[in-house]
């Protein structure tokens, strides 16, 4: 009996536990340690982001919550942009991101986009990093609010959820954050008491003198009311349980005080750090074309089913698709991502309003076809609604492809002084076509960056009209529409030099 008693005593653990319970106690301790540390890391991360996002407001700066994805990947929905107020005497740097009033609408609406071009009229062209085309409406200097200086990720997500009515995500975040902040306040075993603002508040609450009278719970003999015992413990627990909710509610309230802004959808700023850096915006070919200040520049990068073609020149000459034109097919330029249009009887009319026919001009586009029918590539005409005109049409400045695949310029109603290439180009590969013509009607056809034929072409008529691509009039009988793919159309009311044409080709 004695030996059995000794054996049981040897297996007993301090505090009344057994050896089998020790690993469970240790596991529980490690889990508690990991949970408290993770909660404190989350608290530090959350409060740090909140301070960085909101503290500049105290100095007159602005914080703007991004609520759409047109600046991805450099800016995500829920990020906060900290902007330094901009004034009229400050310089606007092309390539930087700005916060501004959307010029395309009269209602209050902020945008966060990159300024990509200074226009001749003094306004600016803007674009979202996720877009392949620029914004249609130019930006006047007077609409600029702030220069983007800092990007704070994630912290604005609760605001976007609240503004969009995504209450489920908001409620889940509030619950998880409240739990994490409550866990972060737990004191670990062996951890010394921390003196801080919350501890001082708790002590102040605990030291408050009790109410006089019976049942007040305080001492009645004049001794100090230190707050010991169950009452003090209960007050401490209540205060501690409310602190996370107060912190979360404060963050959400401060978040609602910040403005929201649309990054409503070009170089892309790939760095994901805290500070903004100016990135390369334009694609090489786009940059080369824009350097020559085109009258209009249509990338034809719209998705399938689109009705309008955006003008990348910044001159707001939006094109319109008519008939059997299918946007969204693979584009011509490998180093300049984008799409093309597949034309099978339709056309693109460039610009909503008629313009005066230019004396000197250039037509630039990319094409691919295997067709053996005579067809219309591009030209100028006084009608935008008809596919072609039998009689009475004023139409000229048009380039066509013959049934042999050769290119001709100068044949239009009543006039036939033209130039034609010696080679055929209906070989099923992409070709770069540029036709330049001076005020003296000296015309050169360039193909793939090289001049292939030149000469004096037919006389011109002065009238107002529209530039058309893919379908138009070149005589008094029907001219078949171009049957093939077209990409990156640019029109210039000037004659490009051969060196500039070669530069465009090299930038492909």
Average pLDDT by stretches of 10, the chain with 508 residues = 40 49 69 81 82 77 79 81 83 85 76 81 81 76 86 82 83 87 78 59 60 45 41 43 49 47 36 34 76 93 87 89 91 81 92 92 97 93 72 82 95 87 96 97 96 94 93 72 95 96 93
CATH of 284-506, one of 2.60.120.200, 3.30.465.10, 3.40.718.10, 3.10.20.30: 2.60.120.200
CB 133 within 8 A of CB 127: yes
Q: What is the dihedral of CA 229, 233, 236, 240, to 10 degrees?
A: 170
Write down the H helix ranges in 116-229: 157-164, 167-184, 197-206
End-to-end CA distance of the chain: 98
CA gap 145, 365 in Å, rounded:
38
Residue 208 burial by CB count (10 A; 0-12/13-18/19+): exposed, middle or buried?
exposed
> Exposure of 370 by Cβ count < 10 A (0-12 exposed, 13-18 middle, 19+ buried)?
exposed
Which pLDDT does position 345 carry in this prediction? 86
Distance between CA atoms of residues 321 and 349, nearest Å = 7
Give just the sign of the alpha carbon dihedral 212, 214, 215, 217.
positive
Q: Which two tokens stand for residue 69?
A: 């994805």
Per the structure block, which two tokens stand in for 134?
Answer: 């620029």
Q: What is the pLDDT of residue 92?
A: 85
The CA angle 197-153-76, to the nearest 5 degrees, is 155
Contacts 24+ apart (CB under 8 A), 117-125: 117/290, 117/314, 118/92, 118/94, 119/314, 119/315, 120/293, 124/92, 124/94, 125/314
What are the structural domain ranges in the chain? Answer: 35-186+227-281, 284-506
DSSP 370: -
DSSP 3-state of 124? strand
Q: For the CA atoms of the chain, what is the radius of gyration?
A: 36
C-alpha to C-alpha distance for 441 and 396, rounded to whole angstroms:
12
Count of CA atoms in the C-beta half-sphere (13 A) of 134:
31
What SS3 string covers 252-321?
HHHHHHCEEEECCCCCCCCCCCCECCCCCCCCHHHHHHHCCCCCEEECCCCCCCCCEECCCCCCCCCEEE
How many whole angstroms separate alpha carbon 250 and alpha carbon 248? 5
Please work out, in degrees rounded to the nearest 5, the angle formed at the alpha carbon of residue 182 by the alpha carbons of 176 and 184. Answer: 100
CB 379 within 8 Å of CB 474: yes
Query: In angstroms, rounded to a whole number, what is the distance separating the alpha carbons of residues 94 and 290?
Result: 14
Instruction: Give the torsion sign (CA, 324, 328, 330, 332).
Output: positive
Q: Spell out where 323-441 has E strands.
A: 325-330, 339-344, 347-356, 361-368, 375-381, 395-401, 407-409, 419-420, 431-437
Cβ of 108: how many Cβ atoms within 10 Å? Answer: 8
> Which CATH superfamily includes the segment(s) 35-186+227-281?
Umud Fragment, subunit A (2.10.109.10)
Distance CA(132)–CA(298), nearest Å, equals 11
Task: Give every CB contact of residue 144 below 8 A, 6+ residues apart in sequence.
Answer: 86, 92, 98, 99, 100
Pick from 151, 162, 6: nearest CA to 72: 151
Q: Parallel, antiparallel, or unpaired: how do β-strands 62-66 and 259-261 relate?
A: parallel
Q: In whole angstroms, what is the distance from residue 412 CA to residue 479 CA?
A: 11
| Coil, helix or strand at residue 326 | strand
Tell whether omega for the bond before 73 is within 30 degrees of 0, i.e. cis: yes
Q: Where are the alpha helices (DSSP H) in 222-353?
A: 230-257, 284-290
């Amino acid at each position: 009996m004695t030996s059995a008693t000794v054996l049981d005593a040897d297996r007993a653990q301090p505090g009344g536990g057994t050896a089998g319970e020790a690993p469970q106690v240790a596991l529980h301790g490690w889990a508690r340690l990991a949970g408290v540390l993770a909660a404190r890391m989350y608290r530090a991360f959350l409060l740090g982001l909140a301070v960085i996002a909101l503290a500049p407001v105290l100095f007159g700066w602005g914080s703007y919550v991004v609520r759409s994805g047109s600046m991805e990947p450099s800016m995500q929905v829920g990020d906060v942009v900290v902007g330094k107020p901009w004034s009229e005497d400050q310089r606007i740097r092309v390539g930087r991101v700005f916060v501004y009033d959307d010029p395309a609408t009269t209602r209050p609406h902020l945008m966060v986009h990159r300024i990509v071009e200074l226009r001749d009229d003094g306004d600016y062209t803007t674009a979202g990093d996720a877009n392949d085309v620029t914004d249609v409406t130019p930006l006047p200097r007077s609409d600029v609010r702030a220069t983007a200086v800092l990007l704070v990720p994630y912290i604005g997500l609760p605001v976007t959820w609240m503004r969009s009515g995504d209450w489920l995500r908001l409620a889940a975040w509030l619950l998880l954050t409240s739990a994490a902040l409550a866990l972060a306040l737990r004191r670990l075993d062996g951890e010394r008491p921390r003196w801080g603002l919350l501890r001082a508040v708790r002590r102040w609450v605990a030291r408050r003198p009790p109410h006089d009278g019976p049942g007040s719970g305080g001492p009645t003999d004049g001794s100090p009311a230190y707050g010991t015992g169950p009452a003090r413990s209960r007050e401490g627990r209540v205060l501690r349980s409310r602190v996370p909710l107060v912190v979360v509610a404060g963050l959400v309230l401060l978040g609602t005080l910040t403005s929201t802004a649309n990054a409503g959808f070009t170089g892309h700023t790939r760095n994901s750090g805290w500070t903004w850096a100016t990135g390369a915006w334009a694609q090489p070919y786009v940059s080369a074309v824009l350097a020559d200040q085109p009258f209009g520049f249509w990338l034809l990068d719209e998705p399938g089913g689109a009705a309008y073609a955006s003008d990348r020149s910044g001159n707001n000459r939006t094109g319109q698709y008519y008939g059997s034109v299918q946007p969204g097919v693979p584009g011509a330029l490998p180093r300049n991502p984008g799409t093309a249009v597949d034309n099978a009887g339709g056309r693109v009319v460039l610009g909503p309003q008629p313009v005066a026919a230019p004396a000197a001009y250039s037509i630039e586009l990319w094409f691919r076809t295997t067709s053996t029918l005579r067809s219309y590539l591009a030209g100028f005409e006084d009608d935008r609604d008809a596919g072609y005109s039998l009689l009475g049409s004023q139409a000229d400045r048009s380039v066509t492809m013959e049934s042999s695949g050769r290119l001709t310029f100068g044949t239009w109603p009543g006039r036939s002084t033209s130039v034609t290439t010696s080679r055929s180009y209906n070989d099923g590969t992409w070709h770069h076509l540029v036709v330049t013509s001076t005020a003296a009607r000296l015309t050169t056809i360039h193909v793939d960056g090289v001049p292939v034929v030149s000469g004096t072409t037919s006389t011109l008529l002065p009238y107002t009209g529209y530039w058309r691509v893919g379908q138009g009039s070149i005589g008094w009988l029907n001219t078949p529409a171009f049957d093939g793919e077209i990409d990156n159309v640019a029109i210039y009311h000037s004659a490009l030099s051969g060196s500039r044409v070669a530069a465009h080709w090299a930038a492909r």
